[in-house]
Structures are given as C-alpha cells and as structure tokens.
A and B are shown apart, each in its own frame.
Chain A
C-alpha cells in the first residue's frame, strides 16, 4: 500500500536509542545544535528543519524531504553535510515511526512540573495522532567545543587536494 501524501512541518526528526523522536521548537531555539550534539553521541538524524509526516494504520511516520537529505543548517556553522562530518552515520531513508515528541522552549516559558519526580509532559496531536511530548528548556551556552570542531571539519581546505587558495 503506497504511503499517503505527507504533510511537512518545521521540525527535526531523530532516532535515539531506536525511538523516533520529533523535535519541535521556534526557529533559533537550538533544535539543530541539539541534533548535532546527539549525532556526536552516535544517534541518527532523519531530518533537520523540515520533516514530512503522515499517518498509516494509526501510527505517525516521519521522513526527510528528498532535497534536504544529509543536510543540517545552523546560523553559526552554515550548511553542513552530515556524512562529511559524521562519516559513520547512516541516514535511514524509509519512514520512521514517531514515538515521542520533544518541545524545546525558553526556560522561562516552561511551567513548574506538577510532579517534580517526572519531566514536564503534555500531549500533542499531530495529524490526528496523540503523542507524549516532553518540554525541555533551551540551554545556553551551546556546546561550543563541539561546534568549533564541526566548523573546522567543515572547511573545504582540508579535503580538496591542490587547493591554490591555501
């Protein structure tokens, strides 16, 4: 059975310990930096910035828009090709089930948890599918060491032979 036409949302999609995690948050909140840190820890990025979603047999599935495959963008580092920085990373191209949602918000916008022994959890509905959503604060400062390492690795000077501009 062919997959339904997907709806695209502004979101990142990751595979963390075999669970499909959709990351929501306003622009510049840190979704892409978070994704880089998780990539660095060995998890998988399905899509950065835009995620195609559809429901099938009452489950929500996510995939990367074809044009954005292997790309990640942050203002600090510009455009990054994931396979150049994380050569051992494999991006599954088939749709992944979304198991939970993370919403990144400014810390001041997050309510106090009703139960301090549990993370702040709400339920969000996407395309009619309700999923547990954990609300996490946007943290500063960023993991600067990781960003610097990726910035340097991303420079074309290292990988192009016979580069006259050096």
Chain B
C-alpha cells in the first residue's frame, strides 16, 4: 500500500471538472485509489464521491493506493494534482 499526503494547489480546488480528470486518471489503473479528506473516504474512480469532497485550494489530502500497479497509480494521480489538473492556476 502506498500512502502520500499532498496539498490541493490549484485555484478552484477539487471542483467538478478537476474531479472528472481525476476519475479518468485513476480509472486507468487496477489499484484501489482512496482519497482521504475531512472525514471522508473518497474512491477516486467514482465521480459522485468526488463531487462531495469540497476540497479547496490549500486542503491537505491523503492518498491511499493499493494494488499491483500502486506505484504507477500514485505517481499519476500525484502528478495530476501537482500539475493543478492542467488548469494552469
């Protein structure tokens, strides 16, 4: 199992469009990818889950990745978040 804490850094936080990009990225991997924030255990492959997370810019989240491709999965999701979901700000 891979664990990693990181901050949401894009201006709009984990909003709907960013959430869809996260689902698309996470769904490419076989591993279970969980996002922990604010007493919520969010499955990153499920879009409705992500709609309620409400993580703003600056929110610290924890990723929990379990599976055969957990290293690549964590890397891809971390990269997406650190790249501000490709939003530029």
Q: Are A8 and B52 in contact (CB under 8 A)?
A: yes
Q: Does B79 contact A (CB under 8 A)?
A: no
Q: Are A49 and B46 in contact (CB under 8 A)?
A: yes
Q: Is the interface of B mostly helix, strand, loop or mixed?
A: mixed
Among B27, B41, B43, the residue within 8 A (CB) of A7 is B41
Among A26, A28, A73, the residue within 8 A (CB) of B48 is A73
Q: Are B51 and A8 in contact (CB under 8 A)?
A: no
Say which one of A64-72, A104-112, A137-145, A157-165 lies at the interface with B: A64-72
Size category of the binding interface on chain A: 10 to 19
Q: Does A48 contact B (CB under 8 A)?
A: yes
Query: Which residues from B are CB-within-8-Å of A120?
Result: none
Q: Which residue of A lies closest to B43 (CB)?
A: A10
Compute how far the CA of A120 lies from the CA of B32 in the bound complex, rounded to whole angstroms.
24
Q: Are A67 and B46 in contact (CB under 8 A)?
A: no
Instruction: Count chain B residues whose beta carbon lies closer than 8 angstroms to a beta carbon of A.
Output: 14
State the Cβ distance, B37 to closest chain A Cβ, in Å: 10
Query: Which residues from B are CB-within-8-Å of A50?
Result: 40, 42, 46, 48-49, 52
Query: Which residues from B are CB-within-8-Å of A68?
Result: 48, 51-52
Contact string against B for A residues 1-32, beta-carbon threshold 8 Å, 1 for contact and 0 otherwise: 00001111110000000000000001110000
Q: Are B41 and A10 in contact (CB under 8 A)?
A: yes
Query: Which residues from A are CB-within-8-Å of B27?
Result: 27
Compute how far the CA of A67 lies from the CA of B47 in the bound complex, rounded to whole angstroms.
13
**A:33-53 near B, CB below 8 Å:** 48-50
Would you give 14 A-B contacts (Cβ < 8 Å), ordered by A? Answer: A7-B39, A7-B41, A8-B39, A8-B40, A8-B41, A8-B42, A8-B52, A10-B42, A26-B32, A27-B27, A50-B42, A50-B48, A68-B48, A73-B48
B: residues with CB less than 8 A from A are: 27, 32, 39-43, 45-49, 51-52
